[in-house]
Structure 1
């Protein structure tokens, strides 16, 4: 009997060997990601086996939670870089930052040189509880300062699920969107997957990221993709080639 139902692919199988990951938490001891260098190396090796041969890791800066500075993060990255290069199959291991758009961000924007993913592209996030009141002012100031914001995981902000017009407005400001790959395999729940599918259908995503913090995240790449728009997913995965050195 011929089946008319196409088998869903495993997420790991959609990752090309030269893929560049632009969102992860792999520098040990600086945030809620890798706890030590051994875990960093283990995660990177397993990511390389999936296809993540290039990585731009992005520690959090969240005031009063992860009080990191650009200088501290760069220093820590430089300390572990020789070990990473010697012990993993990673071709490229660079560092950016995942900046929280909060009350302190505009001060940082005015007083610091931000750590970019490439050129003038920066990764930003919002609270999962609600967007900042001055969100559009912040986005305007980011552009005015010469940076291009990439909003991490818009599918995970539940306050936008019933108000997608606000996402339309964000796109119209020139804010780019980054899909968390694990949102396509129900890792964060079916509601998040449904929103990711909707944004894929609307061609709203510009890039993807693993957002890997720990072993469970890596393991989830063995799950089957649950979104309907797999062609759109494969297309946006390819867009990460932009970050290849």
Structure 2
């Protein structure tokens, strides 16, 4: 990746020109009309173009699957993927598109695990999941055990955003040591979500506890914010870790 130097007080900091070093984004809500992300095919095309301009070459889009709100299925998600692929090709945008899902840890998810129903994964059987932001699920560790016992590699989406881990970094670190992969959101590096999420993301990077970096793009406000992430002093530090995006 091309870089240029920007003076920062008496030292030097490295500013990234794009996200081409990552190349692949593995967490977004760009598929049209399927969750709280892109509301239309036209907006999805705008988002794909914006991600291309930010340096991405491949998008693995991950709609929410939540039993009470977003009752998406692999069939529904793949149908929207095919629709967007055709539109992107017709628009002449060079971008590889694929899909997985962001699974909410609820009873429906656990039921699917028990029944061996298809769960959409990416890469080497990576399974992206999330929980409530406020309250730690009582079955968090049980769910992780079940995912791993079924051959999945659990990836915790945006670990820096879970309030119940604030002040309990050791507990979060223990999950990572036990094999849960961590995917912070890039926009956390600008404080987009909260100062606490920014501090937690920086701490994860400082401790080398980052396996993937995701955009979590829902709309153009997120792609606009990503352009500001390029100036973050923590981005080069994150990219120096063994993040797996470019392997996908």
Give the structure-2-normalised TM-score.
Answer: 0.90
Is 1:234 aligned to 2:230, yes or no?
no
Is the 8 Å Cα contact of residues 48 and 95 (structure 2) preserved in structure 1?
no
Aligned to 1:214: 219
The verdict on how the C-alpha distance between 1:236 and 1:85 changes in structure 2, with shifts beyond 3 A counting, is farther
Q: CA deviation at 1:224?
A: 5.0
Question: Structure 1: how far apart are the matches of 2:42 and 2:192?
Answer: 25
CA distance in 2, matches of 1:160, 1:127: 11
User: Cα RMSD between the aligned structures?
Assistant: 2.0
Deviation of residue 26 (structure 1)? 0.7
Q: Secondary structure at the match of 2:184?
A: strand
Using the alignment, how far apart are the partners of 2:231 and 2:197 within structure 1?
A: 11
The answer on 1:80 being equivalent to 2:84 is yes
Q: Deviations over 1:66-92 (max 9, x none)?
A: 111122111221222211233253331
Q: Give 1:14 deviation, angstroms.
A: 4.4
Gaps of 5+ in 2: 1-7
Once the two structures are superposed, the pairs formed by residues 20-99 of structure 1 within 5 Å of their partners are 20-99=24-103
C-alpha contact (below 8 Å) 2:129/2:157 kept by paired residues: yes
Tell me the TM-score normalised to structure 1 length.
0.91
Task: After TM superposition, list the pairs within 5 Å mapping 1:1-245 onto structure 2.
Answer: 3-7=9-13, 9=15, 13-16=17-20, 19-111=23-115, 112-224=117-229, 229-236=234-241, 239-243=244-248
Distance 1:144 1:51 in 2: 36
Question: Does the 8 Å contact 1:207/1:236 carry over to 2?
Answer: no
- CA shift at 1:8, angstroms? 6.6
Structure 2 distance, partners of 1:239, 1:104, is: 29
Distance verdict in 2 for CA 1:176–1:17, change over 3 Å: closer
Whether the aligned pair in 2 keeps the contact of 1:58 and 1:95 (CA below 8 Å) is yes
Deviations 1:37-87 (A, max 9, x none): 000000100110111121000000011111111221112212222112332
Figure out how many residues of one structure are paired with residues of the other and give that number: 240
Q: Which ranges of structure 1 fall in alignment gaps of 5 or more residues?
A: none
